[in-house]
Structure 1
Amino acid sequence: MKIRSASVHHYCLPLRASWLTAAGGFRQREGWLLRLDTADGATGYGDCAPLPGNAAECPADTALRLRRQTHSLIGRQPGDALQAIDHGSRGSTPAVRLAVETALLDLIAQAAGLPLAAYLLACERRTVGASEVSPTVRVNAALGSVAAVHDQDLRAACAARFQVLKLKVGMTAIDQEIGRLQQLARLLPPGVELRLDANCAWGLRDAARFLHACADLPVEMVEEPLARPALKQLQALQDSTGIAIALDESLATLDLEEVLRRRPVRRLVIKPTRTAGLLPALALARRATGAGVECIVTSSVESACGVTAAAHLAAALHNPLAHGLATCECLAADTGTPPAIANGRLTLPCTPGLSFAPHAQVVFSDFAGPDRS
């Protein structure tokens, strides 16, 4: 099953509304949908969607690096190609590596007759069958900024039976946000909780004040509360509250070994686009879980292909937490149909591989082919 050709579809997907956080925002998601075709007719897909604002993966450089990576795959078996990409650097081009790895894993899982989630478990040298992986995962609703969310949006999410509702905080005055959270909390049915993401908005004093004010609210997690996160400060915050504190983007600046050894927070947010692949993300999650730190998987508002891949990762983790994967509704257009979400759960097909298919109107251009020189 040698790789015969590679092609890409460059996309710029508009959002229905600006994606705003305390760290900034964006109005569209740009990326490349990668397709690998084998000589025996199999096709694998991967999503290359650099994080907005990541200077190390600007569009021109990303396209060039993706071309170089895919050209080296032609004529190889997918398994050999997967081993080969691990010899390169993961740090400089994480979105490129994720796309290539996903497409290769898609082909390998298809050949093994396993859904990708089951194959990810098989990669951990366990005897795994498709029936051992649940095809559904809990997901949280993504409702945007606490200052901008409408009561009817919250009611609609509750009616759709989401049990965890995610809101962005740290964008206006703390007292205003606390007041709005108190209003929203009164609308929540029993058992529904809020998940808050501050995107590194506050100093230690403000973060502590915010967490104290949330003590009597149904808040299950606050993500990235500190503008300058340090392990000692994070530990002090976590010790002061029953709310789970989570790390996401600051993992890039903290000593991971110390985070896992000292466990200053209760959760890690794992984004495959940051970890440069599904396999590195799975390895990180297993290490964290083994150290007593919970993990949730979230998308970075990628296209349906990227969200599908992240959903397979979440299914492989097989934990009861709500994952941040209900983001495709934020896009006004997409590259394909994302996994279905109903009653607060995302359902993956039980067919082999990634189970992603692009829309008929998506046009691919040759990116790499047989070397005829």
Structure 2
Amino acid sequence: MKIRSASLHHYRLPLRTAWVTASGAFARREGWLLRLTTDTGRKGHGDCAPLPGSSSATPADTASELRTRARRLIGVPAGDALQTIDSALRRHAPAVSLAIETALLDLLAQAAGLPLATCLRGDQTSAARRDAPLTVAVNAALGSIAEVRDDVLRTATAEGFKVLKLKVGMADVDDDVNHLQRLAKVLPAAICLRLDANRAWHRRDAERFLHGCRGLPIEMLEEPLAEPGLEQLGNLQAATGIAIAIDESASLLTFADILRSRPVRRLVIKPTRTGGLLPALALARRASHAGLQCIVTSSVESACGVTAAAQLALALDNDLAHGLATSGWLVRNTGVPPIVGSGRLTLPNAAGLAFTPDERLVFSDVSDTDPA
């Protein structure tokens, strides 16, 4: 099964409202949908959607890198092509390597007649359960705590979400705590909050925030420290029953030290940051073995990207709610996103990635000269 052709669709997807965090905001998601076609007629897809603000590379740079790398795959067997994704590409252009790897894994899983999550797990016994739904728990992504309304919380809980995620750290600590105390009064029993500060606070403010949150139904606080260190994170975690989680700050710390000292209880994994599903899975397995809980999250990727992240979450097979219910933030999409209902995301029990692009999308061959 050799790659016969490679093509790209460049997209700009507007958000219904800006995605605002303590580290910045964005109002659209830009990226490229990669399609690899084999000599047997199979089509594999991958999403290249660089995280906003994560790289100095311009969109033209990213498109050029993706086009060059995809062109090199033509004529190469899919399995061999997977081995050509080097660590340098994963490090310097993670969105590019993720798109290529996802498309290749899609093809290989289709050829095996198995869902991608099954192939990632290496659990061939699940092939006998072809009628079982592919479903994983997810949290509601409600945006900034300062802007969320009581009726939005009620709607989310009515839709079956048990975990509601909110962004904090964009206002004074006391204001955030006051908002939380007010919102907690309207939450039904057994519903909990998941908070993301995006490295908004210095140590004293983080401590003050956690002190103010005592007794509130908060199950996780992500990235509380502007200058994270193993000792500082460990001290925060030791002082609270709320699970502290790290995401982007993992790149500032030595992963071996994180696994050895376990300063926090959770690790947030974004395939776009790790540069692929395979390194993300390897990272999650090492972290889980060390006693860290792992959550897969999206940064409002397109339907293709969210589907790939969902396959990874399914492969992890833990009981946590993952941060993948973000497709509703987009005005339009590259295809039909995964179904979300009753607080769970469901994928078709089909071979491969289980993503079908919108038939109206226009793909250009990688040999074309259009830069973006």
TM-score by length of 1: 0.96
- Structure 2 gap ranges (5+): none
| Paired AA for residue 140 in structure 2 | A
Alignment partner, residue 261 of structure 2: 262
For residues 184-209 of structure 1, what are the alpha-carbon distances to aligned partners after superposition, in whole Å with 9 as ceiling and x for unaligned? 11111111000000000001111011
Instruction: Supply the distance in 1 between the matched residues of 2:216 and 2:58 (Cα, whole angstroms).
Output: 41
Deviation at 1:55, TM superposition (A): 2.9
Partner of residue 158, structure 1: 157
User: Following the alignment from structure 2 to structure 1, what is the Cα–Cα distance between the partners of residues 245 and 103?
Assistant: 30
Q: Compute the displacement of 1:292 (Å).
A: 0.2
- For residues 194 and 129 of structure 1, the distance between their equivalents in structure 2, rounded to whole angstroms, comes to 33
Distance in 1 separating the partners of 2:237 and 2:333:
38
Match of 1:280 in 2: 279
Name the CA distance, whole Å, in 1 between partners of 2:328 and 2:100: 25
Q: How many residues of Structure 1 are paired with residues of Structure 2 in the alignment?
A: 366
Q: Is 2:25 the partner of 1:28? A: no
Q: Does 1:49 align with 2:49?
A: yes
Residues 46 and 101 in structure 1, CA contact (< 8 A), matched pair in contact too: yes
Partner of 2:365: 366
For 1:213-362, list aligned pairs within 5 A.
213-362=212-361
Matching of residue 116 in structure 1 with residue 116 in structure 2: yes
Find the residue that maps to 2:35 and give its secondary structure: strand
CA contact (8 A) 1:138 1:323 kept: yes
> Deviation at 1:89?
3.2
**In structure 2, how many angstroms separate the alpha carbons of the residues matched to 1:106 and 1:69?**
17
1:134, distance to aligned residue in structure 2 (A) = 6.3
Displacement of 1:88 in angstroms is 4.7
Match of 1:129 in 2: 126
1:6 aligned partner, one-letter code: A
Taking the aligned partners of 2:296 and 2:133, their CA distance within structure 1 comes to: 15
Residue of structure 2 equivalent to 1:60: 60
* Contact residue 17 and residue 330 of structure 1 kept, 8 A: yes
Name 2:76's counterpart in structure 1.
Answer: 76
Can you list the C-alpha shifts for 1:199-255, whole angstroms capped at 9, x where unaligned? 000011110111111120000000000000000000000000000000001011111
2:259 and 2:114 map into 1 onto residues whose CA distance is 32
Please say if residues 118 and 124 of structure 2, whose CA atoms lie closer than 8 Å, have aligned partners that are also in contact.
no
**Following the alignment from structure 1 to structure 2, what is the Cα–Cα distance between the partners of residues 84 and 18?**
37
| Aligned partner of residue 80 in structure 1, secondary structure | helix
Contact 2:15 2:331 in 1 (8 A): yes
1:89 paired with 2:89, answer yes
Structure 1 unmatched ranges of 5 or more: none
Contact 1:50 1:57 in 2 (8 A): no
- Please show how residues 194-205 of structure 1 align to structure 2 within 5 Å: 194-205=193-204
**Given that residues 134 and 318 in structure 1 are in contact (C-alpha distance below 8 angstroms), is that contact kept between their aligned partners in structure 2?**
no
Aligned to 1:17: 17
* SS at 2:366 equivalent: strand
Letter in 1 for 2:58: C
Partner of 1:39: 39
Contact 1:56/1:93 (<8 A) preserved: no
Amino acid of the residue matched to residue 234 of structure 1?
L
Q: Tell me the alpha carbon deviations over residues 40-92 of structure 1, each in whole angstroms, 9 at most, x when there is no partner.
A: 11000000000111334320110110011101100111100001113653110
Distance 1:48 1:59 in 2: 11
Contact in 2 for aligned 1:49/1:302 (Cα 8 Å): yes
CA RMSD of aligned residues (A): 1.3
Other-structure match for 2:107 = 107
1:94 deviates by: 0.2
Cα distance change on mapping 1:198 and 1:46 into 2, 3 Å: same
- 1:337 Cα offset (Å): 0.4
The whole-number CA distance in structure 2 between the counterparts of 1:266 and 1:57 is 33
SS in 2 for 1:139: strand
Contact 2:133 2:348 in 1 (8 A): no
Cα contact 1:74–1:368 (8 A) shared by 2: no
2:50 maps to amino acid: P
Aligned partner letter, 1:129:
S
Letter of the structure 2 residue corresponding to residue 289 of structure 1: S
Identity of aligned residues (%): 63
> Does the 8 Å contact 2:36/2:45 carry over to 1?
yes
Distance in 1 (CA, whole Å) between partners of 2:80 and 2:230 is 40
| Residue pair 1:5, 1:368 contacting (<8 A) in 2 also | no
Structure-2-length-normalised TM-score: 0.96
* Conserved? CA contact 1:121–1:128, under 8 Å: no
In 2, Cα distance between the equivalents of 1:87 and 1:167?
34
**Structure 1 residues 215, 84: closer, same or farther in 2, change over 3 A?**
same
Alpha-carbon shift at residue 127 of structure 1 (Å): 4.2
